[in-house]
């Protein structure tokens, strides 16, 4: 067999990769007992100097995040928004990587990073829970494994790379706050300059900005980058004034923009969806297809009133429901193994087309995924947890991405300039600089393992190391789907 033939065979195998949704045995970590860590602390944040996060820190970060999500104040954590049921720690070679916090009364979960060298909040949901037995077999394990790889990569990176995460922790930390300083000047009196500064604070506070002395930037950046930022601002500041005291750092958090989750279903692979499945598993590919079909209620050949959003075992004898599920499994050409039901991405495309949908298979792209969701079209998504092709050992999963969320913070400056620094300025005065925007994006994932299967919002991190050809989206593919109405 020549080299071209071998290469073609490998590429074909990658393209038609089998997504077998298994229920393998896992060695699950025991949850941290509630009496093993302190009750919710009344402190306003975690220690800024710490790099590694423990369970108590994680519970504080999660509480602050939940308060901000529900527009509550951060003045005290005595009355938490949600009561913690349990905390699981996920390890890598004995080192904590992240904490999974489940809340009482099915009020969701939060996943917190165990290191400040990554995003504080990795994933969250306000409903259901994160069951390791359900979730960590296939679906969310793919993303969590990707996150762990990025964390390992970050451990050896310089501060310039890690700074993107550093400022995301500030809102959860106890900061060394300083009173906005008086201004030493050889021009205006201290009193007159202080009046001007207070006037500007009121103006920009009314515009939605937090006002800090310029030196507060050290809370957000590494020392090297913060010093460089301050030097740049000082070069544009009237030299008669103390640069760090006269200038202001402005911070504005923009309203969270959210689309979705689009799906109203939380279907799974067990009864009633596993009707006639020899191994009692419906398969992740058919369930993902079925949830998208229910979202559109298309094609009209099915009696959608017989296919409710919440399907319990009482419906498994309904002939309309059984036909719907069995058709999709047949169209997907699933294969049954002892602990897994598999189907290829290529067969998923064929199944959609038999259901009279337009379906386009492509490599995963952030822009394509977000555009589809912005157009209210859920995205069929597939990826691998492991891939050892010559031994044909794969752990893949297919699911639905059905939501997009963006959180944006602006870091700007108000600089006291003069004609010496700014030629167009006739009189010394404050001028505004746009600064930079810091953005966090989440994608909502419906994993197809039910309400306790980890459905929720997951941080999007597009880190890619071209030098070492490291991509943390292992064989990720999407199918763009729309009904041919």
Superfamily designation of domain 284-406+446-455+464-483: Streptopain (SpeB) (3.90.70.50)
Q: Are 222 and 159 in contact (CB under 8 A)?
A: yes
Beta bridge partners of 20: 342
Q: What is the DSSP string of 406-460?
A: EEEEEEEEEEEE-TTT-TT-SS-EEEEEEEEEEEEEEEEEE-SS-TTB--EEEEE
Which DSSP symbol is given to 305?
G
Q: Are 305 and 39 in contact (CB under 8 A)?
A: no
Q: Which residues of 433-454 are buried (b: 16+ CB within 10 A; e: fewer)?
A: bebeebebbbbbbbbbbbbbbb
Token pair 């970050």 is found at 154
Average pLDDT over residues 173-202: 69
Token pair 């229910």 is found at 294
Q: Are 364 and 462 in contact (CB under 8 A)?
A: no
Residue ranges of the domains in the chain?
25-172, 182-256+408-439, 284-406+446-455+464-483
The model's pTM: 0.84
Among candidate residues 185, 246, 243, 176, the one with its CA nearest the CA of residue 216: 176
40 to each of 73, 74, 83, 195, how far by Cα in Å? 16, 13, 9, 41
Helix axes 319-332, 284-296, angle to 10 degrees: 120
Instruction: Report pLDDT digits (tens) over 281-298.
Output: 899 999 999 999 999 999
Q: Are 128 and 266 in contact (CB under 8 A)?
A: yes
Is the pLDDT score of 184 beyond 70? no
Instruction: Report pLDDT digits (tens) over 27-57.
Output: 344 555 444 333 444 456 899 889 999 999 9
Question: Mean pLDDT, the chain, as a whole number?
Answer: 82
Among candidate residues 154, 162, 109, the one with its CA nearest the CA of residue 131: 109
Q: For 18, phi and psi rounded to 5 degrees?
A: -85, 120
Token pair 């490599």 is found at 363
Token pair 């070069």 is found at 235
Is the pLDDT score of 129 beyond 80? yes
Helix axes 223-234, 159-166, angle to 10 degrees: 80
pLDDT for position 314 = 77
């Amino acid at each position: 067999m020549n080299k071209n033939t071998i290469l073609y065979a490998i590429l074909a195998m990658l393209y038609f990769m089998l997504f077998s949704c298994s229920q393998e045995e896992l060695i699950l970590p025991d949850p941290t007992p509630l009496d093993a860590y302190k009750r919710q602390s009344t402190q306003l944040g975690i220690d800024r100097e710490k790099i590694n996060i423990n369970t108590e820190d994680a519970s504080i970060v999660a509480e602050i995040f939940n308060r901000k999500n529900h527009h509550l104040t951060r003045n005290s954590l005595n009355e938490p928004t949600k009561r913690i049921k349990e905390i699981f720690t996920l390890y890598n070679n004995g080192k904590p990587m992240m904490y999974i916090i489940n809340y009482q009364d099915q009020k969701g979960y939060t996943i917190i990073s165990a290191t400040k060298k990554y995003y504080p909040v990795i994933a969250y949901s306000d409903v259901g829970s994160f069951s390791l037995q359900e979730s960590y077999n296939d679906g969310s394990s793919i993303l969590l494994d990707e996150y762990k790889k990025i964390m390992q990569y970050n451990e050896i990176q310089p501060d310039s790379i890690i700074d993107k995460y550093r400022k995301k922790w500030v809102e959860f930390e106890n900061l060394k706050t300083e009173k906005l300083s008086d201004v030493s000047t050889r021009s205006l009196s201290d009193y007159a300059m202080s009046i001007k500064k207070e006037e500007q604070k009121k103006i920009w506070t009314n515009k939605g900005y937090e006002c800090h002395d310029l030196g507060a930037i050290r809370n957000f950046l590494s020392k090297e980058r913060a010093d460089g930022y301050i030097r740049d601002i000082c070069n544009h500041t009237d030299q008669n004034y103390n640069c760090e005291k006269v200038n202001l750092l402005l911070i504005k958090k923009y309203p969270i923009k959210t689309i979705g989750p689009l799906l109203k279903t939380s279907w799974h692979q067990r009864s009633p969806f596993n009707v006639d499945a020899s191994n009692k598993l419906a398969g992740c590919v058919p369930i993902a297809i079925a949830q998208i079909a229910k979202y559109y209620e298309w094609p009209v050949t099915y009696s959608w009133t017989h296919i409710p959003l919440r399907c319990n075992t009482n419906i498994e004898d309904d002939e309309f429901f059984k036909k719907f599920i069995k058709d999709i499994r047949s169209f997907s050409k699933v294969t049954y193994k002892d602990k897994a039901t598999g189907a290829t991405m290529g067969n998923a495309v064929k199944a959609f087309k038999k259901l009279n949908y337009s379906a386009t298979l492509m490599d995963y792209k952030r822009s394509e995924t977000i555009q589809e969701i912005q157009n209210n079209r859920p995205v069929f998504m597939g990826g691998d947890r492991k891939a050892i092709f010559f031994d044909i050992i794969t752990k893949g999963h297919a699911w639905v991405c059905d939501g997009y969320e963006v959180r944006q913070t602006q870091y700007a400056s108000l600089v006291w300039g003069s004609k010496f620094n700014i030629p167009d300025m006739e009189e010394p005065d404050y001028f505004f600089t746009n600064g930079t925007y810091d953005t966090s994006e989440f994608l909502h994932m419906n994993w197809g393992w039910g309400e306790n299967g980890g459905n929720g919002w997951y941080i999007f991190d597009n880190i890619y190391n071209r030098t070492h050809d490291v991509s943390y989206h292992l064989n990720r593919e999407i199918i763009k789907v729309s009904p041919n109405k």
